[in-house]
């Protein structure tokens, strides 16, 4: 029996303030009503990166402590209620505050927490914090790339909380660019995403920045990547909460490199994503560029069984 997954693309920007959560909860209630109108059983609802804003920095915390922080938020109560009403898991991107101890300012591009979180009717079921920073933009120095700000924690490459079992299927929770990391360590894969990690905390020890060629940095990072490969291999479905797609060219880039290419490296797995869009006409088509499945090195675009779109969001229901 397959999974029914609804991917929801949102018009606008990722949340960067706690006060934006109320509006996001209202959107979630609208999505719930549409699912009821479909009269279709849904197993998972996937929302974009930064759909909610936590307001706290949870990077150095243990998984249990992170769960407690997220569960204490009002938006968690809304997600639990949604899950009770629909029977579906809610999977959404949650951004936290930057680490003020490092003198960083607000914003998910400046070292703030980026997480992909799953809820059921009881609360937080799984959580994956970002471990693969975005690649540097062209003509920008390494010191100005996301990796120059984002502290990556070795524990997040191996944590079981990132792999959620639902209806006998393993779902891998990926925060934005973590989708690209699914090629790391694969046969004929691509280890480039590891190069963008510039700061690493391992057993409480901070290593970095990488451009200073600190002894042991690369070895510890590669050990962590081995654990990550184990999680990816066990996954049946990869869920990516993407922050924002700004231009039509970005859609094509993410499709080719973020989904199709990574699916090719991982035969038999389905890759699905949801994103914020600055221009919603890019999502007017019924098909999605971010829903693919690979079989024996061939990657097929998944076609939605149901489709709904208004000015605020676009919903597509897939069977995988």
Domain borders along the chain are 4-319
* Residue 95: pLDDT band with limits 50, 70, 90: very high
Average pLDDT over residues 65-91: 97
What is the β-pairing status of strands 4-11 and 44-46? parallel
Give the integer Cα–Cα distance in Å for 194 and 181. 8
Q: Which of residues 249 and 297 earns the better pLDDT score? A: 297
Q: What is the mean predicted confidence (pLDDT) over 66-70? A: 98
Higher-scoring residue by pLDDT: 290, 170 = 170
Highest-confidence segment of 128-142, 190-204, 216-230 = 216-230
Can you give the C-alpha Rg of the chain in angstroms?
A: 18
pLDDT in tens, 264-289: 888 889 999 999 987 665 455 666 66
The pLDDT of residue 108 is: 47
What is the average per-residue pLDDT within 240-255? 74
Separation between Cα atoms, residue 36 and residue 48, nearest integer Å: 21
Distance of CA 189 to the CA centre of its chain: 20
Q: pLDDT digit string (tens) for 217-228? A: 888 998 998 999
pLDDT of 64 reads 96
Question: From 3.60.110, 3.30.300, 3.90.320, 3.90.550, which CATH number describes the 4-319 domain?
Answer: 3.60.110
Higher pLDDT pick, 310 / 189: 310
In sequence order, what are the residues at sequence separation of 6 or more whose Cβ sits closer than 8 angstroms to the Cβ of residue 1?
167
The pLDDT of residue 8 is above 90: yes
Mean local confidence (pLDDT), 304-319? 92
Residue 183 token pair: 């090629």
Compute the distance between CA of residue 6 and CA of residue 9 in angstroms, rounded to an integer.
Answer: 10
Q: How far is the first Cα of the chain from the last one, in angstroms, to the nearest whole number?
A: 9
Which residues are CB-contacts of 229 (< 8 A; sequence separation ≥ 6)? Answer: 184, 185, 186
Bridge partners (DSSP) listed for residue 300: 293
Report whether 259 contacts 242 (CB < 8 A): no
Residue 302 DSSP class: P
Distant-in-sequence contacts of 106-113, Cβ < 8 A, 24+ apart: 106/16, 107/16, 108/14, 108/16, 108/49, 108/50, 108/243, 109/146, 109/149, 110/149, 111/149, 111/150, 111/151, 112/57, 113/54, 113/57, 113/58, 113/59
Q: Which is more confidently placed, 150 or 45?
A: 45
């Amino acid at each position: 029996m397959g999974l029914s997954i609804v991917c929801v693309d949102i018009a606008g920007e990722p949340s960067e303030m706690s006060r934006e959560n109320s509006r996001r909860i209202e959107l979630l209630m609208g999505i719930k009503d549409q699912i009821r109108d479909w009269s279709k059983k849904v197993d998972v609802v996937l929302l974009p990166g930064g759909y909610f804003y936590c307001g706290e920095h949870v990077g150095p915390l243990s998984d249990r402590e992170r769960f407690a922080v997220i569960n204490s938020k009002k938006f968690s109560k809304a997600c639990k209620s949604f899950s009770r009403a629909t029977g579906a898991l809610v999977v959404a991107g949650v951004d936290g505050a930057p680490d003020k101890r490092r003198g960083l300012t607000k914003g998910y591009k400046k070292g703030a927490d980026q997480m992909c979180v799953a809820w059921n009717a009881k609360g937080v079921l799984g959580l994956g914090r970002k471990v693969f920073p975005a690649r540097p933009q062209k003509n920008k120095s390494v010191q100005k790339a996301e990796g120059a700000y984002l502290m990556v924690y070795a524990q997040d490459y191996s944590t079981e909380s990132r792999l959620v079992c639902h209806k006998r299927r393993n779902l891998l929770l990926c925060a934005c660019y973590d989708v690209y990391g699914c090629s790391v360590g694969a046969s004929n894969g691509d280890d480039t995403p590891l190069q963008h990690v510039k700061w690493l905390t391992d057993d409480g020890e901070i290593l970095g920045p990488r451009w200073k060629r600190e002894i042991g940095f690369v070895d510890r990072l590669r050990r962590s990547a081995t654990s990550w490969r184990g999680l990816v291999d066990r996954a049946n479905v990869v869920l990516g909460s993407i922050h924002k797609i700004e231009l039509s060219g970005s859609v094509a880039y993410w499709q080719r490199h973020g989904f199709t290419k990574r699916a090719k490296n991982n035969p038999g797995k389905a890759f699905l994503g949801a994103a914020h869009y600055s221009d919603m006409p890019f999502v007017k088509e019924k098909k999605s560029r971010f829903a693919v499945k690979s079989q024996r090195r061939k990657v097929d675009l998944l076609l939605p069984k149901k489709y709904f779109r208004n000015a605020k969001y676009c919903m597509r229901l897939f069977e995988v």
